[in-house]
Structure 1
Amino acid sequence: MELELRHLRTLRAIAEAGSLTRAATALGLAQPALSAQLRRIERALGGELFERGRHGVRPTALGELVLERTRIVLPAVTELQQEAVRFARTRAGRGTERLLRLGGTHGPLLGALVDLMAAAGPDTRVTTHASWSERELAALLSEGRLDFAVTGTCGSAAPPDTEHLVWQEFAVDPVFVMLPDAHPLAHAPEVELAKLADEEWTCVPGDGCFGDCFTAACARAGFAPRRMYETDIASCVHLVQVGRAMGLCRATFPATPGITTRPLAGTPLLWRHLLGWHPATQRADTAATVLAQARTAHADAAARSDSYADWLARGENPAEALP
């Protein structure tokens, strides 16, 4: 019998489960079928790989040797598959029409970047993929299914998969609060977080640490947030407009009827805008061009926000608040 990758995955499943019964369940096999397969693998490798006992199975010395090699081989094969897919998709995108695949978390910067890239390269077809998850976007970059991703992190938190991907910061924003126009604090130059202790809140979801950072900021202000509605942007806007909740947004949030955005006193929360890509699939000059356009998109968005312009005019600098 020729040893195959599926056989190595079977051995790994048995070792992780510590039991043929549990391993069979995890693999979707009947236990007799798994036992027969294990015997065939052991014959191919020249000896017993697991000792059977009352409490399950454990690797023999030969089994430990094989499992040690398996821990090297399987990740290497997975990486080879991902690299091949990235290469094939990159090559497929080359032709008379250039394809640029952008990903991003929901917000105005992704749309602005699409507009700038389309204007700069009329022969470039731009596609987008929006996601609430920074980890999903990182996975798509690693798999070669996206060329660049616009996302961000709270404060100085690390972006996902820094081992394989390049992440470049292109802007830092304070986090503002969204208030209904009729709110008593809507005309204040800035809002102390403690004065919103009795409010409910809304923001878009994500898999980063923003929720924890907000809770910590509220604790420093002397209260715990009553309730947080995590939902899409349109629903967040509606909840603020009707006075159901206060919203959290980046300072570049565009002007919206019925809503006033105001800075939080002391800038307790920051958002770092990041552009990510895989260095194996992107040329340095292409990455530099997209990064420059991302910075332009942010500058344009900041210029359109009166509350952000007023905040900057007072000499505030969000980058100085980073640890």
Structure 2
Amino acid sequence: MELRHLRYFRAVAEDGHMTRAAERLGIAQPALSQQIRNLEEELGVPLFDRVGRGLALNEAGRLFLEEVRDVLVRVDGAASLARQAGRGEVGRLRVGFTASTCFNPAVTEALKAYRQTWPGVELILEEGRSSLLEAALEQGTLDAAFLRPPLRSTERLGFELVATEPMVAALPVGHRHQGRSALKLEELRDEPFILYPRANGPGLSENVVAACQRAGFTPKVAQQTPQLASTVNLVAAAIGIAIVPDCMRQLRPDSVRYVTLQDAALKAEFGLAWRRDDRSRTVRHLIDTATQADPRG
């Protein structure tokens, strides 16, 4: 028994006439009659009573029709769901982000726009360190992640830049420079620095050190932290100063002052990473949304 047999039976049952049902189905009347006979033979019971030129469902046919309609509704629903999933309109998308990238409005705007454009996709969000998020991507427990470059693996992971922002000096309240509107990096040569080294290669912290060296000094490292977000807490504790992305201004405004740096070359980048072998439309839509391409293109 095939789905076409069920669809043929439903059409004949609803029309009560073999010729009209054949016209609606777009097949020849003799072929339709044969298909119905084959169905009845397979079931081992007649489904219709022949009344004049028409057909009337018997008791077996009426009960069978109820079940057939239910089956076809479920089949049509499953087919529609599969097509929607193939277009990336439904499903589940697991997205990671680091503690620092979540403060950038580009991330929140991308997630907001994605949810508005693809409301049928469930977003599952996870915060973590860059190295853990990369590992989760490679293992397939995450579908995409907002990360700061560089990536540990560019062979298995793709990466699209989402935003670039300036770096600012984070100073503890009471610092002699807290009232300044802008600072040159060289003015911080005698300050104790709090750095946040990356375990998997050069990153923001290394860029800060390189910028200081271009300004004529090597920063004095007072403390290293495991991740960028915790750096601001140590600045608030007056352990030292830090150079952080501009989006971090939202952290500890009561105990940390942020001052613009005049070193325009010192920038912070972040983007969206995903597995190169992931061809799902849900991931592609997020990439297009985050990079401001046409998400429906």
Q: What is the TM-score with the length of structure 1 in the denominator?
A: 0.52
SS at match of 2:224: strand
Deviations for 1:84-143, whole angstroms, at most 9, x for unmatched residues? xxxxxxx9xx79972211122222258725555445544433223333234x43332232
Task: Name the residue aligned to 1:42.
Answer: none
1:133 paired residue among 130, 134, 137: 130
Task: Name the residue aligned to 1:191.
Answer: 183
Measured after TM superposition, the shift of residue 148 of structure 1 is 0.5
In structure 2, C-alpha distance between the alignment counterparts of 1:169 and 1:294, rounded to whole Å: 9
Task: Name the residue aligned to 2:236.
Answer: 241
Q: Could you say if the C-alpha distance between residues 217 and 187 of structure 1 is closer, same or farther in structure 2, counting changes exceeding 3 Å? A: same
2:208 touches 2:243 (CA, 8 Å); kept in 1? no
For 1:193, the aligned partner's letter is L
In structure 2, C-alpha distance between the alignment counterparts of 1:168 and 1:242, rounded to whole Å: 36
SS at match of 1:248: strand
Measured after TM superposition, the shift of residue 150 of structure 1 is 0.7
For 1:261, the aligned partner's letter is Y
Measured after TM superposition, the shift of residue 194 of structure 1 is 1.5
| 1:1-323 correspondence runs (5 A) | 98-107=91-100, 108-109=102-103, 112=108, 114=111, 116-134=113-131, 136-153=132-149, 158-207=150-199, 208-210=201-203, 211-227=205-221, 228-232=223-227, 235-255=230-250, 256-283=253-280, 285-295=281-291
Q: Could you say if the C-alpha distance between residues 254 and 282 of structure 1 is closer, same or farther in structure 2, counting changes exceeding 3 Å? A: farther
Deviations for 1:270-318, whole angstroms, at most 9, x for unmatched residues? 22211111233233x534431354357xxxxxxxxxxxxxxxxxxxxxx
1:104 touches 1:149 (CA, 8 Å); kept in 2? yes
In structure 2, C-alpha distance between the alignment counterparts of 1:280 and 1:176, rounded to whole Å: 37
Deviations for 1:126-171, whole angstroms, at most 9, x for unmatched residues? 223333234x433322322211011012xxxx53322232211111
**Residues matched between the structures, number:** 198
Q: What is the TM-score with the length of structure 2 in the denominator?
A: 0.56
1:166 touches 1:277 (CA, 8 Å); kept in 2? yes
Measured after TM superposition, the shift of residue 243 of structure 1 is 2.5
Question: Gaps (5+ residues) in structure 1?
Answer: 1-90, 297-323
Larger Rg: 2
In structure 2, C-alpha distance between the alignment counterparts of 1:133 and 1:232, rounded to whole Å: 9
Q: Could you say if the C-alpha distance between residues 188 and 288 of structure 1 is closer, same or farther in structure 2, counting changes exceeding 3 Å? A: farther
Measured after TM superposition, the shift of residue 250 of structure 1 is 1.0
For 1:280, the aligned partner's letter is D
2:93 touches 2:121 (CA, 8 Å); kept in 1? yes
Give RMSD over aligned pairs: 3.1
Q: Could you say if the C-alpha distance between residues 251 and 138 of structure 1 is closer, same or farther in structure 2, counting changes exceeding 3 Å? A: same
Measured after TM superposition, the shift of residue 183 of structure 1 is 2.3
For 1:286, the aligned partner's letter is T
In structure 2, C-alpha distance between the alignment counterparts of 1:216 and 1:254, rounded to whole Å: 23
Measured after TM superposition, the shift of residue 268 of structure 1 is 4.2
For 1:294, the aligned partner's letter is A
SS at match of 1:239: helix
2:145 touches 2:273 (CA, 8 Å); kept in 1? yes
In structure 2, C-alpha distance between the alignment counterparts of 1:126 and 1:138, rounded to whole Å: 18
In structure 1, C-alpha distance between the alignment counterparts of 2:157 and 2:229, rounded to whole Å: 31
For 1:272, the aligned partner's letter is E
SS at match of 1:253: helix
